[in-house]
Structure 1
Amino acid sequence: MFTHTKQRRANYVFPRPGDWNSHIHQSGYWFVEEPTDYQPSEALIRFLQAGEKPVYIGFGSVFDTDEKDAMSTRVIEALAKSGRRGILCGMGEWRDLPDHVFAVDSIPHSWLFERVSAVCHHGGAGTTVAGFKAGVPSIIVPFANDQFAWAHRAHDLGVGAKPIPVKKLTADNLAEAIRFVHNDHVVASAKMLATHMASENGARDCAKVIVDCLEGKA
């Protein structure tokens, strides 16, 4: 059984419901280490070194390639309006991108997110926690299902902008969100959340619960 301290430590993202009994346990995240042999292209390294940290923008598997032109136009315009550089991920190949935008097909979040100033994505559970872990602010554009819950939670925690449902996404409201998450208080909150999450060890704590159950201690 967890001690009260451990229960509190595991509640940085979603608080443990008060009506759960002692047989329901909540621990921190279990992080799967991504391959460490990733080698970024020289072009990507040059882009990252050419100015301030960019904003990551990618919508994972929910991105509709038929919407590539319309979506990318909005995103690129929003970056220009906000005065920020950006990395587009998973939106196909581009030829004549402006100097403040770089495109990649896919890239390990664990490598890139620590090198950007904010992450804009669809709100999948995995991508959301990768942003939290990296200690950078979030801009979540939910498409469906639990993505809305993650979007609202990021905002409630003070580490993200107000959710922008994909059907309401415009260059203007995305630019406003980008500007918002670069405020000092949002940046500081994102870093603090990452520090708190780093103090957890969800896999270890869960393993202890299993061992205690097998030994009749729980």
Structure 2
Amino acid sequence: MRVLLSTIGSRGEVQPMLALAVELRELGAEVRLAGPPDFRGLIEGYGLEFVPVGPEVSTFDQTSRPTPEQRRAMITGTVVDQFDALRPAVRDCDVLVGLGALQIAAPSIAEERGIPCVYTAFAAKTLPSDHHAPPPLGLGLDSTADFRTQWRQDADRWNDIWREPLNAQRAQAGMTPVDDVQPYIFTKHPWLASDPILDPWPTPSDLDVWQPGAWLVRDERPLSEELEEFLAAGDPPLYFGFGSMQVGADTSRAAIEAARAVGRRAIVLRGWADLALVDDAPDCLAIGEVNHQALFPRVSVVVHHGGAGTTTAVARSGAPQVVVPQRFDQFHWAKRIETLGIGVAHAPGQPTTDSLIEALDRALTPEIVARARVFATTVRGDGAARAAQQILALERL
């Protein structure tokens, strides 16, 4: 069986697809993974075939506000890039799996090829439901309306943005136009790659959602000698990491000052914002890419942006967490860990020294520490393996 996996986005979108790819390969499938060119080294490092789609996402200015003309050109370019990349990539494949809301071309490419297409979300909040509102995107949904109405408004927004460039590509392929883009992309049978206890799918629902669990890469990389020495030199430190988010330059100073204020050492992930230490004192360490599964059980609190993968990895580790959400589904994850009592939801946006001190004081309370440890035992780790088995079953239908 040959499978094409496709995603557009940051590490948070690529990482679960990588986990699925590894599991599929272990079951004997041939796997091709399409994604932003930033991740060629990561994906090929696992011995997987990589297909680049679009421009590098790490260089995109997350704070930019393009003009309407620039925005329309970007949207058209994104759709064209996806069709141009996925059409040859799917040539010999039996199934196409797309993850994330930007999979505009995937269902059309699968339809053209005559193969199944599986749409996968990584957070319950991103799929339509009468039980929650759409993810906040700052695009003027009526927050006073009921959830079903808000999702209809969100679907209208999808049509305004994506329908014209999508149907232009479909017309070139001799395919009929799509009237309603969002349900066409999501399908009536989407998969939800998140933990069913950390992020349960609400029922009843108009969608037939299958939730195998989060797709997590089994990471056996050792920690660096420098990091091991730092961990051994004192009590478990705090970890501050904002991954692909371009947080402000003052984030490092706020983090380190807050750590010192609560009497803890600090590890700072450089990330895409290229965070750095504020001095050369021995109580702080800046690191690059790291094995979360090996590190998180050895820190006292994880402070992060609230990406789906990071939130799940922290929950599995048993460490309390402070979520400082920046965009999209991250607000949802912040609310979930606060509701579950396994961490603290920090206010959105740029953290300050004072705001981090307050959040850390709460996260370090015995109640939250104990609850986080217990909750870790409930988070399943076989989501990607279950999904891989289900994909192989599609060939037999």
How high is the TM-score relative to the length of structure 2? 0.46
- Tell me, in whole angstroms, the C-alpha distance in 1 between the residues paired with 2:283 and 2:365: 21
Q: 2:339 aligns with which of 139, 156, 161?
A: 156
Q: Which residue is 1:27 aligned to?
A: 212
Select which of 72, 76, 85 maps to 2:256.
Answer: 76
Q: What is the aligned residue count?
A: 200
Letter paired with 1:29: A
For 2:345, what is the secondary structure of its paired residue? coil
* Distance in 2 between residues matched to 1:164 and 1:54, nearest whole Å: 23
1:50 maps onto 2:246 in alignment: no
Asked whether the equivalents of residues 152 and 162 of structure 1 are also in contact (C-alpha less than 8 Å), the reply is yes
The 8 Å contact of residues 28 and 201 in structure 1, kept in 2 or not, is answered as yes
Alpha-carbon offset, residue 215 of structure 1: 7.0
Q: Which one of the candidate residues 26, 30, 38 is aligned to 2:222? A: 38
CA contact (8 A) 2:277 2:284 kept: no
Task: Give, in whole Å, the separation in 2 of the partners of 1:86 and 1:72.
Answer: 10
- Tell me the CA shift for residue 37 of structure 1: 3.9
**What is the match of residue 318 of structure 2?**
135
Q: Structure 2 unaligned runs (5+)? A: 1-194
| Inter-partner Cα distance in structure 1 for 2:387 and 2:278 | 48
Q: Would you say the 8 A contact 2:343–2:363 is kept in 1?
A: yes
Per-residue CA deviations over 1:11-67 (Å, capped at 9, x if unaligned) read 311223121379432222222113x343412x3222111111001101112134xx3
Q: Which runs of 5+ in 1 are unaligned?
A: 1-9
Matched residue SS, 1:196:
coil
Which amino acid counterpart does residue 362 of structure 2 have in structure 1?
Answer: F
Aligned to 2:374: 192
> Structure 1 length normalisation: TM-score?
0.80
Contact persistence 1:154–1:161 (CA under 8 A)? yes
Q: Which amino acid aligns with 2:368?
A: V
The 8 Å contact of residues 92 and 105 in structure 1, kept in 2 or not, is answered as: no
Q: Matched residues, percent identical?
A: 35
Q: Which one has a bigger Cα radius of gyration?
A: 2
Q: Secondary structure at the match of 1:161?
A: strand
The answer on 1:14 being equivalent to 2:199 is yes
Instruction: After superposing the two structures, state which structure 1 stretch, 12-21 or 75-84, moved more.
Output: 12-21
Q: Tell me, in whole angstroms, the C-alpha distance in 2 between the residues paired with 1:94 and 1:22.
A: 47
Q: Are 1:152 and 1:163, in contact at CA under 8 Å, matched by a contact in 2?
A: no
Contact 1:82–1:176 (CA<8 Å) still a contact in 2? no
- The alpha-carbon deviation at position 130 of structure 1 amounts to 1.1
Deviations 1:119-141 (A, max 9, x none): 10111111111111111111011
Give 1:173's aligned residue. 355
